[in-house]
Chains A and B, each alone.
Chain A
Amino acid sequence: MQWEVGSALNIASILVVVIVFAAMLIWVERRLLGFWQDRLGPNRVGPFGLLQVVADMIKIFTKEDWIPPFADRFGFVLAPTIIMIVILLSFSVVPFAPGVGIVDSNIGVLFVLAMASLGAYSVMLGGLSSDNKYALLGSLRAAAQMVSYEVFMGISLLGVVALTGSFDLREIVLAQEGGWFVVPQFIGFVIFLIAGVAESHRLPFDIPEAEQEICAGYHTEYSGMKFGMFFVGEYLGLVLISSLITVLFFGGWQGPLLPPLAWFFIKASCFIAFFILLRAAIPRPRYDQLMSYGWLFLLPLSLLNLLITGVVILSAN
């Protein structure tokens, strides 16, 4: 079997590595949060607590998978699968290294954005079909937040696309051989980072699931492996956003000495750690603050960024 983009071996290994990595993040996050709060975090199960994930998985698989009698069964079962499927599909266009990837689509960026939009359905359906007031409030918030942050998530990427002249993520990486896009597109990078956090609804933008306000938001009624899928889906989203930042702004697999995959891993891990640091440090904004911050500050800023990028490119030509 050949080791090239789209081969069966390639697809299988990417699928397994991504899911295992996302599951391991549960442990990584708990330990890092622990250190940042002057604690140790889980360090009992196995060396350094590495087998904590296995213990969690055994627990969550053997838990009762309960569907509330008042819930809409179809939507309730469908919702957690959507987020997993959608995010795993997004990974298909991510170029991990030369020869490692599933598809080199010439609409890669658009595909990722489309899948991110579909991810909103998972959260909305989950909250709606639960027939629970907290879940409904959570999905209301999720719908508003994700729809509004998607707008400038796309716009912030257009600068990169304009500089490359292609929607193909692999070509975007290759175009950064001379220098990472984070330098000319710094504002775009910051906006994409913020929108990415909001899109994967992690702290500080975990307003749809805010435990202190609305229980667990849209997954209040979920238990067992259905909850586990939401949970792992969130970490998959984290890995996806980190990979995308690496690909779009930090030159993907490019780097000296080390093999390309190692560079990709190092860069993506740095962003994952940064997202966890965000969770440890930044408090959650109020709901209306989030919305006005998005529409009144980030959207005009991303439009301005796009405008200036366009002017520079045109005048350079």
Chain B
Amino acid sequence: MSDPIVRPHSKSWLAKFGELVKDTLTSQVVTLWRVFRHLFVATDTVQYPEQQPHMFSRWRGRIILTRDPDGEERCVACNLCAVACPVDCIALQKTEDEEGRWYPEFFRINFSRCIMCGFCEEACPTNAIQLTPDFEMAEYKRQDMVWEKADLLIAGTGKYHETNFYRVAGKSIGGKDKGEARNELPPVDVRSLLP
């Protein structure tokens, strides 16, 4: 199709005809040839159930609760993940054991609401809640999309191996008093400051 733009110098009819042939014929034939060559190009399709796609480690998929290197639960039930969650799919209740550790009494994620945004992972001060590259979470019943703490908790440390909240924090728990944490000075004895 000839160009609708009016040019300052009118061209000869031969040049116009040449342009018409170039626009209507040559470019179309070139396009046809380029598309035809794709018949011999390897396809990009990943044949999914038989062939697993390559998942990157930063993929935001199924959410897990991890344990610290000592094998204890990392989650301290601070509720920051539940606050950060834009769709309010996380529900938990704090409780305390006899040593003074905080942990969730129940921890429930409704995956039919979860949008895998990863805000909970960002909010978590103890690296307890983490997102993994697993995406195969389809269920037949909607109720099966609600995961409890037993379903979420794994045996290992997940993506972050070092984090160990109670070994760093100043809170005293059974077997670790104030001042015994890593890089922590003993508490100041206020009476010794007397003149």
Mark interface residues in B5-33 (1 if CB within 8 Å of A CB, else 0).
Answer: 00000000000000010001000100110
What are 26 A-B pairs with beta-carbon distances under 8 A?
A34-B43, A35-B38, A35-B39, A36-B35, A36-B36, A36-B38, A38-B38, A38-B41, A38-B43, A38-B45, A39-B43, A39-B44, A40-B43, A277-B32, A277-B35, A277-B36, A278-B32, A280-B35, A281-B28, A281-B34, A282-B28, A282-B31, A285-B1, A292-B1, A293-B1, A297-B20
Q: In the complex the two chains form, what is the Cα distance from A39 to B38 in whole Å? A: 10
Mark interface residues in A270-304 (1 if CB within 8 Å of B CB, else 0).
Answer: 00000001101110010001001100010000000
Residue A106 at the B interface, CB < 8 A? no
| Closest A residue, CB atoms, query B44 | A38
Please classify the interface of chain B as helix (H, G, I), strand (E, B), loop, or mixed, using the class held by over half of its residues: helix
Residue A37 at the B interface, CB < 8 A? yes
Tally chain B residues at the interface, Cβ within 8 Å: 17
- B residues touching A (Cβ–Cβ < 8 Å)? 1, 20, 24, 28, 31-32, 34-36, 38-39, 41-45, 47
- A residues touching B (Cβ–Cβ < 8 Å)? 34-40, 277-278, 280-282, 285, 289, 292-293, 297
Residues of B within 8 A of A36 (CB): 35-36, 38-39
Q: In the complex the two chains form, what is the Cα distance from A39 to B45 in whole Å? A: 6
Tell me, rounded to whole Å, the shortest Cβ–Cβ distance linking B12 to chain A: 18
Tell me, rounded to whole Å, the shortest Cβ–Cβ distance linking B53 to chain A: 15
| Closest B residue, CB atoms, query A298 | B24
Q: In the complex the two chains form, what is the Cα distance from A292 to B20 in whole Å? A: 13
| Closest A residue, CB atoms, query B28 | A282
- A37 near B1 (CB under 8 angstroms)? no
| Closest A residue, CB atoms, query B4 | A289
Residues of A within 8 A of B41 (CB): 38
